[in-house]
Amino acid sequence: MASRFAGVPVTIWQANAFGRYVHVNDPNPASLDPHFVGCVGIRSDDDGIYRIKTVKPGAYPAGPDWMRPPHIHFEVHGRFERLITQMYFPHEPLNTSDRLLNAALRPDLLVATCLSDPLGRRVLHFDIVLSRG
Query: Does residue 1 lie within any of the structural domains?
Result: no
Query: Does residue 4 lie within any of the structural domains?
Result: no
Q: How many domains does the chain have?
A: 1
Query: Does residue 103 lie within any of the structural domains?
Result: yes
Assign residue 103 the CATH number of its domain: 2.60.130.10
Count of alpha carbons within 13 Å of 133, Cβ hemisphere only?
A: 7
Residues spanned by the domain of 116: 9-125
pTM for the predicted model, two decimal places: 0.91
pLDDT digits (tens, 9 = 90+) for 44-87: 998 889 999 999 999 999 989 999 999 999 999 988 889 999 99
The residues carrying an active-site annotation are 21, 60, 68, 71, 73
Mean per-residue pLDDT of the chain: 92
